[in-house]
């Protein structure tokens, strides 16, 4: 069963906290991406929503329309959604963003719910294909507790309604462990309580504490605009 439009309305009202009240992260990446925040640029990220979520959005705003693929890669990505409960959509662009009508994906980016090897939802991990492009991924200590709390609470709410959605993230978390194990590198998790852990490579998902000072080592990885 998927979450209903009404469920998504509840998620939207319970998930309004910004990643940070101090930092406007769009101002960190947009100057290197033609003035458009990377996560609001369909050239980098195509918003995917559940069809029930899209039904809600259509009632609330005219900001969203179905996404029309323009490149072979985009066509392939959209073709993958055929027969699923999800669809690809497009907003009017960052200059016309209606904060209350952002999708769950917009509110969550650049994070997804991270499940440990025992399939417990322990915190937030980043979408690794946005490394180098998304400033937040390289400055995790700016992420504030209200965002973490709302992110976890609203995803748990959705998972109770839609177990397939939970399984998707269990698998995505395992895929991330695989990617980093092949790299021979550790990756950071923002834990539910706001602390940090490293997930060690080739360890079966073993986690060890990470300090804010250690996380500063990630900053050099933000390479957007450096070429």
Stretch that binds ligand SF4, among 53-61, 106-114, 115-123, 148-156 (CB under 6 A): 106-114
Contacts of 192 (CB under 8 A, 6+ apart): 121, 122, 123, 148, 152
Strand ordering across the sheet containing 48-50: 48-50, 86-90, 65-66
91 binds ligand SF4 (CB under 6 A): yes
Site residues for ligand SF4, 8-37, by CB under 6 A, read 25-26, 28-29, 37
23 and 142 in contact (C-beta within 8 Å)? yes
Considering the complex, what minimum distance in angstroms separates the CB of residue 50 from ligand SF4?
15
Stretch that binds ligand SF4, among 73-81, 131-139, 157-165, 170-178 (CB under 6 A): 131-139
Helices 163-183 + 145-161 axis angle, to 10: 120
Considering the complex, what minimum distance in angstroms separates the CB of residue 140 from ligand SF4?
11
123 binds ligand SF4 (CB under 6 A): no
39 binds ligand SF4 (CB under 6 A): yes
Any idea which residue has 């940070």 for tokens? Answer: 20
As a whole number of angstroms, the distance between CA 203 and CA 218 comes to 21
Residue 70 three-state SS: coil
**Binds ligand SF4 by CB under 6 A, chosen from 9, 78, 87, 94:** 94
* Pairing mode, strands 121-126 and 111-115: antiparallel
**Binds ligand SF4 by CB under 6 A, chosen from 15, 109, 151, 198:** 109
**Site residues (vs ligand SF4, CB under 6 A):** 25-26, 28-29, 37-40, 47, 91, 94, 97, 102, 106, 109-110, 134-136
């Amino acid at each position: 069963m998927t979450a209903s439009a009404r469920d998504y309305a509840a998620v939207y009202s319970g998930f309004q906290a910004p990643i940070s009240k101090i930092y406007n992260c769009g101002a960190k990446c947009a100057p290197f991406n033609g003035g458009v925040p990377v996560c609001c640029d369909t050239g980098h990220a195509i918003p995917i929503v559940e069809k029930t979520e899209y039904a809600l959005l259509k009632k609330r705003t005219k900001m969203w329309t179905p996404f029309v693929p323009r490149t072979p890669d985009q066509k392939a990505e959209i073709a993958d959604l055929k027969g699923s409960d999800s669809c690809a959509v497009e907003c009017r662009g960052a200059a016309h963003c209606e904060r209350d009508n952002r999708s769950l994906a917009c509110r969550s980016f650049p994070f997804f719910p991270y499940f440990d090897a025992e399939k417990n939802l322990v915190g937030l991990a980043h979408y690794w294909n946005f490394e180098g492009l998304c400033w937040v991924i390289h400055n995790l200590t700016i992420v504030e507790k209200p965002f973490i709390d709302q992110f976890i609470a609203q995803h748990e709410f959705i998972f109770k309604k839609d177990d397939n959605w939970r399984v998707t993230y269990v698998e995505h978390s395992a895929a991330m462990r695989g990617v980093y194990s092949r790299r021979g590198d550790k990756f950071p998790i923002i834990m539910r309580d706001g602390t940090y852990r490293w997930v060690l490579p080739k360890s079966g998902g073993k986690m060890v504490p990470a300090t804010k000072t250690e996380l500063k080592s990630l900053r050099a990885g933000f390479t957007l605009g450096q070429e």
